[in-house]
């Protein structure tokens, strides 16, 4: 029998430790290595944070599996029924490299393919978003709720440009910006998928969508948004698939379906 209360205390301790580790580093070095292309970055701190969390969890929970952005756990991306931690050690690596204080550690625990814990922690401005299934969503310990706005014309929409220069993907991104700008209240982009989603959970924005993200970018935010009373669906309007590399979260299903109808779709290769 899993003791989720105990697991939650353990992961919070590790995340706080990881946060202290990276908080000091952001302005010190702009060094980064490239992954899939010149805007897909990794730093030594991404790898250190992922290792700290994986080592900390696996020293106590021997059967738990890991899907981490940097592949420190060595496992290939395969979500099974086994308790699995989905980890983005630094979401918003580009911001981190530039010293922009909008990066976070994003961690989710998925058991039997159901997300039980979601944590998004921005240690630079001390924003800790947390959720456990059925228990609500919180910012720094205080409950949060999505906005009640139902009009697209009054909705603030979080978007991203992503970490790929694929021309077909960029075409879809830019078409959507052009089409949506006159239809919505405003468009914003924080440079971190997880923090964008948390703005919807907080009620500070109504919608966030993106094509091309990975499961580690969105696993935690999905639970946080739903526990704050919002919805996560596929950007074409169907059910959300964590591995599809497509996400649309909104403060209500009504608003989610309204924007889904307006979007030029892009279908990346799945995780």
Q: Give the catalytic positions in this structure.
A: 69, 88, 90-91, 93, 217
Judged by CB under 6 A, the stretch of 18-26, 172-180, 211-219, 226-234 that binds ligand IPD is 211-219
Least Å from the CB of residue 49 to ligand IPD:
11
- The answer to whether 117 and 8 have CB atoms below 8 angstroms apart is yes
**Of the candidates 177, 213, 162, 179, the residue with the CA atom closest to the CA atom of residue 39:** 162
Distance in angstroms between the alpha carbons of the first and the last residue of the chain:
30
> Rounded to an integer, what is the distance from CA 33 to the centroid of its chain?
21
Q: Which of residues 13-42 bind ligand IPD (CB under 6 A)?
A: none
Q: Which of residues 126-185 bind ligand IPD (CB under 6 A)?
A: 160, 162-163
DSSP symbol at 239: B
Least Å from the CB of residue 96 to ligand IPD:
8
Determine, following the binding rule CB under 6 A, whether residue 122 of this chain makes contact with ligand IPD.
no
Judged by CB under 6 A, the stretch of 3-11, 123-131, 171-179, 207-215 that binds ligand IPD is 207-215
Least Å from the CB of residue 100 to ligand IPD:
11
Q: Which of residues 181-200 bind ligand IPD (CB under 6 A)?
A: 191-193
Binding mask 58-97 for ligand IPD (x = CB under 6 A): -----------x------------------x--xxx----
Which C-beta is closer to ligand IPD: that of 69 or that of 149?
69
Q: Rounded to 5 degrees, what angle do the CA atoms 143, 145, 148 make?
A: 155
Q: For residue 55, give the 3-state DSSP assignment.
A: helix
Q: Which of residues 217-246 bind ligand IPD (CB under 6 A)?
A: 217
Q: 3-class secondary structure for 75-131?
A: CCCCCCCCCEEEEEEEECHHHHHHCCCCCEEEEEEEECCEEEEEEEEECCCCEEEEE
Total residues at interface with ligand IPD (CB under 6 A): 15
Q: CA–CA separation, 26 vs 11, rounded Å?
A: 23
Least Å from the CB of residue 55 to ligand IPD:
20
Q: CA–CA separation, 256 vs 89, rounded Å?
A: 28
Least Å from the CB of residue 34 to ligand IPD:
11
Among 68, 83, 123, 212, binds ligand IPD (CB under 6 A): 212
Least Å from the CB of residue 214 to ligand IPD:
6
Q: CA–CA separation, 77 vs 139, rounded Å?
A: 29
Q: CA–CA separation, 71 vs 34, rounded Å?
A: 15
**Of the candidates 115, 157, 128, the residue with the CA atom closest to the CA atom of residue 249:** 157
Which C-beta is closer to ligand IPD: that of 111 or that of 170?
170
Q: In the complex, which residues of this chain contact ligand IPD (CB under 6 A)?
A: 69, 88, 91-93, 160, 162-163, 191-193, 210, 212-213, 217
């Amino acid at each position: 029998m899993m003791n989720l209360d105990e697991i939650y205390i353990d992961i919070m301790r590790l995340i706080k430790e990881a946060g202290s580790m990276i908080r000091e580093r952001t302005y010190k070095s702009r060094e980064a290595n490239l992954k899939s292309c010149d805007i897909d970055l990794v730093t030594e701190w991404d790898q250190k944070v992922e290792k700290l969390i994986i080592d900390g969890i696996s020293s106590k929970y021997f059967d738990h599996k890991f899907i981490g952005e940097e592949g420190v756990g060595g496992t290939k991306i395969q979500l099974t029924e086994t308790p699995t931690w989905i980890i983005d050690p630094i979401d918003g690596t580009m911001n981190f490299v530039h010293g922009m204080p909008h990066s976070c550690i994003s961690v989710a625990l998925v058991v039997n393919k159901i997300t039980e814990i979601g944590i998004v922690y921005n240690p630079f401005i001390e924003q800790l978003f947390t959720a456990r299934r059925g228990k609500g969503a919180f910012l720094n310990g205080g409950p949060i709720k999505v906005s009640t706005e139902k009009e697209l014309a009054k909705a603030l929409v979080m978007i991203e440009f992503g970490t790929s220069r694929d021309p077909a993907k960029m075409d879809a991104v830019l078409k959507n910006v052009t089409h949506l700008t006159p239809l919505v209240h405003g468009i914003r982009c924080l440079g971190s998928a997880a923090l964008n989603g948390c703005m919807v959970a907080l009620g500070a924005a109504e919608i966030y969508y993106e094509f091309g993200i990975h499961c580690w970018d969105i696993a935690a935010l999905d639970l946080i948004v739903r526990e704050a009373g919002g919805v996560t669906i596929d950007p074409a309007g169907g059910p959300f698939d964590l591995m599809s590399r497509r996400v649309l979260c909104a403060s209500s299903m009504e608003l989610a379906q309204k924007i889904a109808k307006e979007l030029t779709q892009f279908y990346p290769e799945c995780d």
